Amino acid sequence: MRLLRNPVGKPLALVLAITAATAGLAVPATAAPPGVVPSTVDVVLTPGGSTTITKAVTTPTIPFNPDVVFLADTTGSMGAAIANVRSNIGSITGTVLAEQPTARFGVAEFKDMKDAVPFKVNQQLTADVAAVQAGTTQWVAGGGLDFPEDQINALYRLANGAISFRASSTRVIAMFGDAPSHDPSGGYTLDDAIAALQAARVRVIAVNSSGLDSKKQATALVNATGGALINNVSSAGVPQALLDGLRGIKVTVSPTVTSCAPELSVSTTPIGSATVAGGQVASFTETITVSPSAGPGNYTCVVDYLVDGVSLGYTQTSTIRVLGLSINDVTVQEPTLLNVGSAVFTVTLNAASTAPVTVNYATAAGTATTADFTPVSGTLTFAPGETTKTIAVPVLPDLLDEPTETFQVVLSAATGAGIVKATGTATIADANRNGSYSCQATAAKLVILNAVGVTAALANSANDPCAEETKTLINASLPNGILTVITGDVDATTDLIPDNQQSAPAAGDGARSTANVSSTTISLLGVANIQVGAVTATAGFTCTAGAGGVLSPVFSASSNVASLRVNGLTVAVGSGTLVIPLVVGQLRINATTTVNGEYTRQAFALDTALGTVVLGEAKVGVKGTALNSTGNPCVA
């Protein structure tokens, strides 16, 4: 109110206690952190069913991203209130920034239109608290030549560009004073000011020290803009009242569906929106309904609770599970001979039910027949709370090389739930190898032209299929009159890895042939005398993982001739491949030949016009099956 003015409007007496606020302003507690509770919903419904959820949306105590203009009545009677606000402006702005770090602040003042400067912007919007403090130091109490002042003019001008509000901000004018306004004021009526404030989306906080609302102007302003009016405030209480006013600004909460499965619909009560004071809880009752035609499955809706039309991340995600059963697909290895395996299917209920759920099942032949599996059938029962059951189908072995085969388990006649995936397919990977090995090892042999050859230590004479065998001989003589071969100890071995080749192929599987001769003397009609040291030869295939882990047979071979003398002359040999011409023919050392996928490694071979002498021969090969001629034993 205005006190004891002289004829020219000067205060005759102004005795006011100015309290410098050195302590922080009071910060009221909120019911909960800002946001929506519950933020997630997960329920089980049937087609056509619905659920109702109560939502509590706790709003920010201070509006989001605020632009706050402190508007002071700086006429003569306001000195104490101005001093108190100035000394507490750091606490006010600090409290706001702590809750809304993007806040900006401006400073303005108004007097009477008869004063020299009836309205002034002391500081444009800024985040610099020191600049805000400096703006308030420009407030000097004086003037005001009659009881009413001219805040309507100030409010109109602030709403029409005197302050540069940010586009996305919550705009607030926090005004304090002790007298009503002239109306019109500076040529603008109260209705003009209200229209301008509404158009600019500005809320008004009015802190009434005594007579600010004596003409109900402040009431009209805050009601029209969604602000707050705080009455009967002492000069010392103005700083806290300004902060309380910021916290009391009304906000509108609007549930907005941002995404939702077409099988669901969402409605809320109250319809559209709810308005509460900042920091308070907006309550909604939300109903989610499943379409009667919705199939089993999981469906999702997301609702964003906008505050004053702005998304603050107050989202709620609802997952509605319409009960449904599914069966998986499985892949099994065909069991080895004399064993029985199982194809184990898992039947899944997508959410726990409160009542029993049943479903029938039965096997169905595909490319796999009842020679490959044992048919089963029955009923599964899911007790309340259970979500998985298994079905085991016996899988049978055989000795046939076969392609991959399949059979099915089919679900039917479900009660208490729908069927999402009715058929589970079992794929049986054949355990029988898709090919085989051949192998043979010969320690020494003499092949006379147009005659049957003579051998010493021949392992697996049949060669195909490869079979495990070891042959040894102490000294061997291969006489032929003109061409004579005499050896020391000899041995030959053929080997399968693993021994029986009954298991499914694995890395390291294979076949190997090995031949050894301790020493040899070869005579040819006294024309040639050849002495050969120890001879070894090995050849094999090994299943080796290639690109993508696929196994394939990889060939390897090695051989060695320890020493060689021809008619008393030493010839350098070893493990390298050599061809040595002689008067009686030629020598081939450590040579490999390939015919129709079969590899032969010979450590020593003497070719003459009369025949051929071979020392240390290892032979291996691979072939497919009648079903798959290009197959190999590394693949089932």
pLDDT at 5: 34
pLDDT at 431: 63
Mean pLDDT of 74-89: 96
Sequence-ordered alpha helix ranges (H) in 165-287:
190-199, 217-225, 238-247
309 membership: H or E segment, kind and range:
none
Whether 326 contacts 284, CB under 8 Å: no
Assess whether 111 and 195 both reside in one domain.
yes
pLDDT at 338: 66
Mean pLDDT of 250-257: 93
Q: Percent of the chain having pLDDT more than 90?
A: 71
Assess whether 108 and 244 both reside in one domain.
yes
Assess whether 229 and 123 both reside in one domain.
yes
Mean pLDDT of 277-292: 93
Assess whether 290 and 184 both reside in one domain.
no
pLDDT at 27: 52
Assess whether 217 and 279 both reside in one domain.
no
pLDDT tens sequence across 124-152 = 999 999 999 999 999 999 998 788 999 99
Mean pLDDT of 13-19: 25
pLDDT tens sequence across 189-204 = 999 999 999 999 999 9
Mean pLDDT of 498-527: 87
pLDDT at 616: 96
Assess whether 448 and 569 both reside in one domain.
yes
Average pLDDT, the chain: 89
Residue 635 located in a structural domain:
no
pLDDT bucket at 18, cuts 50 / 70 / 90? very low
pLDDT bucket at 155, cuts 50 / 70 / 90? very high
pLDDT at 336: 66
Of 414, 429, 444, the last residue of a domain is 429
Assess whether 472 and 615 both reside in one domain.
yes
pLDDT at 21: 30
Residue 634 located in a structural domain:
no
Residue 27 located in a structural domain:
no
Q: Report the predicted TM-score, pTM, of the whole model to 2 decimal places.
A: 0.54
Distance CA 440, CA 539 (A): 10
pLDDT bucket at 550, cuts 50 / 70 / 90? confident
**Of residues 478 and 165, more confidently modeled:** 165
pLDDT at 10: 30
pLDDT at 401: 58
pLDDT bucket at 4, cuts 50 / 70 / 90? very low
The CATH number for 295's domain is 2.60.40.10
Q: Percent of the chain having pLDDT more than 70?
A: 92
Mean pLDDT of 304-320: 93
Residue 7 located in a structural domain:
no
Does residue 506 register a pLDDT over 90? no
Q: Kindly report which listed range (96-110, 379-393, 441-455, 457-471) carries the lowest average pLDDT score.
A: 441-455
Assess whether 116 and 225 both reside in one domain.
yes
pLDDT bucket at 84, cuts 50 / 70 / 90? very high
Of 248, 280, 297, the last residue of a domain is 248
The CATH number for 175's domain is 3.40.50.410
DSSP bridge partners of 119: 110
The CATH number for 382's domain is 2.60.40.2030
Distance CA 547, CA 327 (A): 32
Strands 357-365 and 405-415: antiparallel
**Of residues 161 and 14, more confidently modeled:** 161
Residue 415 located in a structural domain:
yes
pLDDT tens sequence across 373-428 = 999 999 999 999 999 999 999 998 875 656 778 999 999 999 888 888 999 999 98
Does residue 473 register a pLDDT over 80? yes
pLDDT at 584: 86
Residue 309 located in a structural domain:
yes
pLDDT bucket at 2, cuts 50 / 70 / 90? very low
- Is the preceding omega at residue 47 within 30 degrees of 0, hence cis? no
Residue 86 located in a structural domain:
yes
Assess whether 381 and 404 both reside in one domain.
yes
State which amino acid sits at residue 26: A
Best CA proximity match to 552, nearest among 505, 512, 513, 515: 505
Assess whether 347 and 449 both reside in one domain.
no
Provide the number of structural domains found in the chain: 4
Distance CA 575, CA 319 (A): 73
pLDDT at 1: 33
Q: What value, to the nearest 5°, has the Cα angle with vertex 608 and ends 604 and 612? A: 50
Residue 25 located in a structural domain:
no
Q: DSSP 3-state assignment of 630?
A: coil
Mean pLDDT of 309-324: 92
Whether 396 contacts 372, CB under 8 Å: yes
pLDDT bucket at 180, cuts 50 / 70 / 90? very high
Q: DSSP 3-state assignment of 496?
A: strand
Of 189, 218, 248, the last residue of a domain is 248
Distance CA 239, CA 25 (A): 8
Q: Kindly report which listed range (78-82, 127-131, 428-432) carries the lowest average pLDDT score.
A: 428-432
Structure tokens belonging to residue 442? 């010969």
Most confident of 20-29, 77-86, 269-278, 606-615: 77-86
pLDDT at 17: 24
Distance CA 368, CA 143 (A): 103
Distance CA 242, CA 227 (A): 12
Assess whether 441 and 565 both reside in one domain.
yes
pLDDT at 528: 85
**Of residues 610 and 311, more confidently modeled:** 311
Best CA proximity match to 67, nearest among 170, 140, 150, 204: 170
Assess whether 484 and 347 both reside in one domain.
no
CB under 8 Å to 547, separation ≥6 — which residues?
Answer: none
Does residue 122 register a pLDDT over 90? yes
Q: Provide the residue range defining the domain that includes 420.
A: 324-429
CB under 8 Å to 214, separation ≥6 — which residues?
Answer: 179, 180
